[in-house]
Structures are given as C-alpha cells and as structure tokens.
Amino acid sequence: MFTLLIGCTLCCCPGYAAPAKPDLLLAEVYRDNIDVQQYWVSEKLDGVRAFWNGKQLISRGGQLIAAPAWFVAHFPTQKLDGELWLGRNAFAETLSIVSKATPVDSEWQQVAYYIFELPDAPGSFSERITLMQQLVLQQNSPYLKLVPQFRLASKKQLQAKLHELEQVGAEGLMLHHQDAAYTTGRSNALLKLKTYQDTEAEVIGYRPGKGKYQGMVGALVVKMPDGKTFAIGSGLTDALRQTPPEVGSIITYRYNGLTKHGLPRFARFLRVHQTF
C-alpha cells in the first residue's frame, strides 16, 4: 500500500477534478521609455508555465500536469504561478517530462518549480516577493524555488545583463513593476526583454538539401498567419533534416525584426510547437 501511495499522481487520486484553464498574468514586450529603477528584474526561464491551485499543477493551456505526489508533497495550499524548469536550453526535455500522463520519477527528480507570482495575494509586487521568500523557506521543499529577483540602476546595466545571460543560454529578462498589484491578462506591469522575437508558423512544404545535406531537407517552407511564406533552414539539426516536422504542423522560430516586405529577418527554427 505504501508503494502504491508514493507512486500515485495527482491525475489519478480521488477528489481531483479536471482543472479549468487558469487566468494568468501575461507580459507585454519591453519598451524603452520606462524607468528601470522602478522594476524588479529576473531571468526569463524557458520552461513550462504552471499554475498551482493549492492541489494541482495546471498548464497554461488548462491541462492537468501529472506531477508525482512526492514532488508536490510540501507545496502550500496557497495559489502559485511559476515555471517547471530543468535548466537553460532544455525546453523540449522539460516538456517531454511534464507532459507525460504517467510521470517518471527519475525524470521529475531533475525538475524544480520556480515561482514568480502569488495569484490573488494583496500588496505590491515588492511585498509579494517578501511573501514568496518566506513561503519557500517555510515549505522547505527541494522542488519549490523562487525565481531570483534583482535590481538594476540603468538601461545600460539592463542591456549588459541581458547580454551576459544570453551568452550563457538564457532566453531573456522579465521586468515586473515594484508597485504592481496582482492582476491577470496582458499587462504592462510585466515586461519581457529579448534580443530576438519568436512566433509560430505552419509547415507547408520542404526544400531539398544540397551538399552535405543531399537527400535530406534543406529548409522548411512555412506560412505566417497573414499568409506570407518563407523558408527556414537555420536551426535544423541533422535528425530534423532526416525526419522533419510534418506538413500542417506548427513550429516556433526566432527572428530579428521584419524586412520591408514583412518577412522575418534571420529566422531560426526553435522547436515544434506543442499546446500544453
């Protein structure tokens, strides 16, 4: 019986109904006319967004995350918002681990839940940071951590920090206004800063490879939501060139602005997009 209970996950335990899609705080894109000193800054983690409702971990898309019972055993009854994170440049591996209907203990032991918000908690964000620090200490769980929040004195320091973290594989930075009350939906109280942009496109075909890529896919031909098409070859691994994303699948790519014709500049494949 003891072994059975330890292996039980939240999706199979009695009393846990199917969750509703959580209403979360979403970031606006950073704008250069802000006073950086009014914001807390943190690394933008490239993990899987997860909402803790006091009983269950739920994905941004409203899917129940089948975390092992031991993983959440010391989580509080208070609502939390954060990221399930394995490490930098490990989004695909993280998604693979946390999206399984039957969790693998050895895989989940590599993951931690990094929180950055207390949904519905009163006070300013500065006050909520203090509450989160206290909560993480009180719960004393090796799998519950706080995303480090820090201050920067100027936009020059902000850009330097962005460059420093991106050099070691970080996705970017998040800026949260110190006085912001908790809210949900898209808000300029929370800003995201990256040197590149990313979005999705539909795969509609392939271009054949040449030279060392002879017999493989040279590039994916993709369609943007506005109907424009272009090819992406950069970022494709040899494995993807041999077995590319299927026509009709959605991919995520990064780019640096648009050309005068409205096409992405320096587009680079990131991953196959999965709604979770």
Q: What is the CATH number of the domain that holds 39?
A: 3.30.470.30
Q: Are residues 159 and 93 in the same domain?
A: yes
Express as a percent the part of the chain with pLDDT over 70: 93
| Average pLDDT of span 41-60 | 96
Q: Are residues 174 and 206 in the same domain?
A: no
pLDDT score for 7? 37
Separation CA 159–CA 136 (nearest Å): 30
pLDDT score for 4? 31
Which of 170, 193, 216 terminates a domain? The answer is 193
Catalytic residues: 44
Q: Are residues 168 and 237 in the same domain?
A: no
Separation CA 104–CA 123 (nearest Å): 39
Identify residue 196 by its one-letter amino acid code: Y
Which of 177, 193, 209 terminates a domain? The answer is 193
Q: Are residues 244 and 219 in the same domain?
A: yes
| Average pLDDT of span 202-227 | 95
pLDDT in tens, 71-115: 999 999 999 999 999 999 899 899 999 999 999 999 999 999 999
Which of 138, 172, 193 terminates a domain? The answer is 193
Give the residue numbers spanning the domain of 168: 2-193
Identify residue 50 by its one-letter amino acid code: A
Given strand 185-193, what is the order of strands in its sheet? 25-29, 185-193, 173-177, 39-43
Q: Is the pLDDT of residue 119 over 50?
A: yes
Q: Are residues 119 and 187 in the same domain?
A: yes
Tokens for 246? 């299927």
Separation CA 240–CA 223 (nearest Å): 19
| Average pLDDT of span 248-275 | 90
